[in-house]
């Protein structure tokens, strides 16, 4: 492959050969194939057409999300493809589905590293990288019902369509050790409830909406809530699912999580699959299971909405019905009323806890400001 050359004439020229994009092929995969067709190393090919002195773009995995319209227009002239066709290969084509607007700088919680299905790559005449596989919810191949992979199984190097092993092997070979990635062991998925809920998750993204009880909800609004619940699970260990601590979630190593970093990226594809399956199940008989999750994990209204930039109406209403939003500082009930409420719960054989008292008295027993939490603790000692 031609590498590291400069030729100002090429900047103004069209591509000599332009491969047709495959179905759902991602931009970077297609661009790498354009470079191969010109016997040129992908990064060199990019800089020949987009010299650094004019374009600040570098060829990194972020380009699938961050490429701007002006670069697409130049590419459109070079390839004779309409801009729309080129844009359709990029992540912003998921605007309004995955997020209201995809964050262009690449630091996007739902975008993930390149993934591939070893079976697809074995079957395809020309293996290519798929656009949907850069979305964190795609943990498995729908066609072959096996997990996707994002690294070389021999040396753990991530997939990278812009590098080439020995300057000759294409992206379907590991860029560090040259392993042919379609020979990766295939791990098939058991057909169970988790598989069903993960399949459902992909359908929500494809349709762009979900029906929950009386609400019809945009998929991106639902995914924001899914991300928040993931955070409650991964970061705050709120892992009581159906009355007991979930064994899978308990085994996740969450010590390495930090609030600022993307939590999804820190767990494996298999763990993501478990996590999403479990969360989708919480919305199965809406809002019953979500209510149980909140009560069992002692989650207040505040816990459920904290850090969400714009709390959607459907979610706000549901959460407020389960654990009402209450003025934090005010304590509007007497000690006697609390004691009475506790004996009321005991008589009805209901658990005396923060959640049930909050529901019964409409005062927030989770808040530290009104001292109800401490008062209850003292009573129970």
Provide the binding-site residues for Zn ion, judged by CB under 5 A. Answer: 117, 119-120, 141, 143-144, 152, 154-155, 157, 174, 176-177, 179
Paired tokens of 312: 């959607």
Q: How far is the CB of 199 from Zn ion (least distance, A)?
A: 14
Q: Which is nearer to Zn ion, 157 or 359 (CB)?
A: 157
Q: Which is nearer to Zn ion, 145 or 237 (CB)?
A: 145
Main-chain phi, psi angles of 49, to 5 degrees: -90, -30
Q: Which is nearer to Zn ion, 130 or 238 (CB)?
A: 130
- Evaluate whether 29 touches 129 at the Cβ level (below 8 Å): yes
Q: How far is the CB of 118 from Zn ion (least distance, A)?
A: 8
Strand partners, 146: 141, 188
Strand locations in the chain, DSSP E? 140-141, 146-147, 209-212, 215-218, 240-241, 244-245
CA pair distance 226, 306, nearest whole angstrom? 13
DSSP string for residues in 294-319: HHHTT--HHHHHTT-SS--HHHHHHH
Q: Which is nearer to Zn ion, 102 or 201 (CB)?
A: 201
Q: How far is the CB of 178 from Zn ion (least distance, A)?
A: 7
Q: Which is nearer to Zn ion, 34 or 141 (CB)?
A: 141
Q: How far is the CB of 149 from Zn ion (least distance, A)?
A: 11
Q: Which is nearer to Zn ion, 172 or 370 (CB)?
A: 172
Q: How far is the CB of 34 from Zn ion (least distance, A)?
A: 24
Q: Which is nearer to Zn ion, 182 or 357 (CB)?
A: 182
CB atoms within 10 A of CB 250: 11
Paired tokens of 241: 């699912």
Rounded to 10 deg, the angle between the 313-322 and 219-234 helix axes is 50
Q: How far is the CB of 198 from Zn ion (least distance, A)?
A: 15
Strand partners, 151: 158
CA pair distance 61, 43, nearest whole angstrom? 12
| Angstrom distances, CA of residue 59 to CA of 128, 164, 190, 357 | 18, 14, 38, 57
Q: How far is the CB of 202 from Zn ion (least distance, A)?
A: 14
């Amino acid at each position: 492959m031609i590498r590291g050359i400069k030729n100002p004439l090429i900047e103004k020229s069209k591509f000599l050969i332009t491969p047709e994009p495959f179905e759902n092929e991602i931009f970077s995969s297609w661009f790498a194939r354009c470079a191969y067709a010109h016997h040129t190393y992908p990064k060199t090919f990019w800089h020949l057409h987009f010299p650094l002195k004019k374009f600040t773009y570098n060829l990194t995995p972020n380009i699938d999300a961050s490429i701007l319209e002006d670069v697409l227009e130049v590419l459109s002239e070079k390839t004779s493809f309409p801009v729309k066709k080129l844009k359709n290969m990029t992540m912003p084509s998921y605007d309004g589905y995955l997020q209201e607007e995809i964050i262009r700088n690449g630091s996007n919680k739902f975008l993930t590293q390149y993934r591939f299905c070893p079976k697809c790559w074995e079957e395809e005449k020309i293996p290519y990288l798929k656009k949907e596989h850069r979305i964190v919810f795609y943990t498995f191949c729908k066609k072959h019902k096996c997990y996707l992979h994002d690294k070389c199984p021999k040396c753990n190097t991530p997939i990278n369509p812009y590098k080439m092993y020995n300057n000759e092997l294409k992206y379907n070979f590991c860029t560090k050790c040259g392993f042919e990635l379609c020979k990766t062991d295939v791990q098939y998925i058991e057909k169970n409830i988790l598989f069903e809920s993960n399949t459902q998750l992909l359908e929500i993204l494809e349709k762009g909406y979900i029906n929950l009880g009386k609400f019809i909800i945009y998929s991106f609004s639902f995914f924001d809530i899914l991300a928040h619940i993931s955070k409650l699970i991964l970061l705050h260990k709120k892992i009581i699912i159906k009355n007991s601590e979930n064994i899978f979630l308990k085994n996740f190593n969450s010590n390495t999580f930090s609030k600022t970093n993307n939590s999804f990226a820190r767990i494996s594809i298999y763990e993501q699959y478990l996590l999403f399956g479990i969360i989708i199940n919480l919305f199965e008989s809406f809002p019953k299971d979500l209510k149980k999750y909140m009560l069992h994990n002692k989650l207040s209204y505040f816990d459920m909405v904290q850090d969400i930039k714009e709390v959607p109406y459907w979610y706000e209403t549901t959460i407020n019905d389960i654990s009402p939003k209450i003025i934090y500082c005010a304590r509007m009930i007497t000690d006697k009323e609390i004691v009475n409420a506790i004996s009321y719960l005991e008589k009805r054989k209901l658990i005396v806890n923060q959640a049930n008292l909050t529901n019964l008295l409409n005062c927030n027993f989770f808040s530290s400001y009104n001292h109800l939490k401490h008062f209850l603790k003292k009573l129970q000692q």
